[in-house]
Structures are given as structure tokens and as C-alpha cells.
Amino acid sequence: MRDLFLAVLLRDLKLASRRRIESLLPVVFFIVALSLFPLGVGPEAQMLRDIAPGIVWVCALLASMLSVGSLFAGDLADGSLEQLLLAPQPAIAVAAAKSTAHWLLTGLPLIVATPLVGLLFGMSGPALLALVAGLLLGTPILSLLGALGAALTLGLRSGGMLLILIVLPLTMPALIFGAGAVGQVEAGLDAGGHFSLLGALLLATALGAPPATAAALRISTE
């Protein structure tokens, strides 16, 4: 199982290195979208600090959705997905590797770009650290749930819209707890409860999403 996981993960990372412009689109969208909000809502510093956590989380979710729709589509088109599912190792390894690759290529760059965006909104140091910590726990959830949605809508004509309708409600708890943790820090309160809930969500999603994604892939390829 580990061999299949590493093989699929390294393969996806190598393919992404050959399509660098396409791989950079989510983080470019993330930065550009967030840069527009100060222009739209005005330069008032306190307002920008108040809305920053929620806006960053929403933009991170939308940026993740940009690339998740094609997570399995290329492999389905060239027939490699069926070959991977026919391997003697469990299909969970394929689902987990795809989700991990998506997070490394999308979630991690978003986290790296977050401090720059935080400075744009005038966030304090503790609040910015809380935002980055929340994204470290929350963006893997987005990738895991995105992979599940991509598997459920694989091969459908209007799969992109259906994918968003499936994934968005599932990600709401992560967005609420992630943005709420920053609000707690800015108010001088303990955000440990929010981070604990995010960690529990990550654990539950990491245990439940890959098996569900693997089952959805088998159904979609039948």
C-alpha cells in the first residue's frame, strides 16, 4: 500500500512540475482575489482586520476548488485510473496519494502566501500566527473533501457545478472554526478549543474521506 501511495504521489508531483503555470493558478487566484477586497471595502484598518480571517478562508476554499476538479479527470481520460484501481494494493492508497498531492501543490502554497496577505490586511502577529495554524489544520480537510467530491462527480457532464455544491457545505465547519480561532486570538481569548475542533475534523476526515473516495472511484469507473 505504501509503495502505491508513494508512486502515485511522486507521479502527480512530477506531472505538476511539467505544468508549472497551471499549478500556480490557485495561489495566483488566492493573492489576486484577496488583494481586491481592500480596494472594494475601503482602507479602514479595523474593518480590514475584522473581515480578514473569513475572507482568507473563503478565498483558500475557492482556490482549492480550482484544481480539484481535474484531480482524477486526466487519469480517467488516459486509462491510467482504471489500471491503478486494478492494482493489488487497496484503492485507498490512490485516493490518499491524490489528496496529499493536491494539498502539497495547492494548500501548502496558500499557507506560504498567507503571511503576505495578512500584512495587506494589517493583521497583528498573534492573529496571523493563528490564521496560519488554522490553515495548516484546515487546508488538508479541503483537499480530502475536494478529492471526495471530484470522485463522486467524475465523468459527469456538469460535474464542476455539482462538485462545488457537494464540497462547500462539508467544508463549512472548518471555515467556521478556522476563522473563529483568529477572532478569539484578536479578542485576547484562548483559541485552543477551535484548534482542537479543527484537529478533530482533520482526523475524522483523514480516516473517512479516502475510503469513501476510493469507493466513489470504483463506482465512477464501472
Residue-wise pLDDT for 106-165, tens only, equals: 999 999 999 888 888 888 888 899 999 999 999 999 999 999 998 888 877 766 778 888
When pLDDT is cut at 50, 70 and 90, the band that residue 209 belongs to is: very high
Distance CA 136, CA 7 (A): 24
**pLDDT given for residue 78 in this prediction:** 77
Cβ–Cβ under 8 Å, residues 158 and 130: no
CA 165/CA 98 separation, integer angstroms: 21
In angstroms, how far is the first alpha carbon of the chain from the final one? Answer: 22
Residue listed under C-alpha cell 492573529: 127
Indicate the SS3 state at residue 49. helix
pLDDT at 175: 92
Query: Which pLDDT score, from 0 to 100, does residue 68 have?
Result: 85
> How confident is the model over 172-184, as a mean pLDDT?
91
- Kindly state the average pLDDT of the residues 85-112: 88
Backbone dihedral angles phi then psi of residue 136, each to the nearest 5 degrees: -60, -35
Mean pLDDT across 191-203: 92
Which helix (H) or strand (E) segment holds residue 114: the answer is helix 108-120
As a whole number, the mean pLDDT across the chain is 86
DSSP annotation string for 204-222:
HHHHHHHHHHHHHHHHHT-
d(CA 177, CA 180): 5
180-195: average pLDDT: 88
* Chain-centre distance for alpha carbon 145: 8
In the chain, % of residues over pLDDT 90: 36
Contact predicate 166/146, CB 8 Å: no
pLDDT band at 19 (very low <50, low <70, confident <90, very high): confident
Average pLDDT (5-23) is 84
Alpha-carbon gap, residue 148 to 117, rounded angstroms: 29
Provide the CA 162 distance to its chain's centre, in angstroms. 17
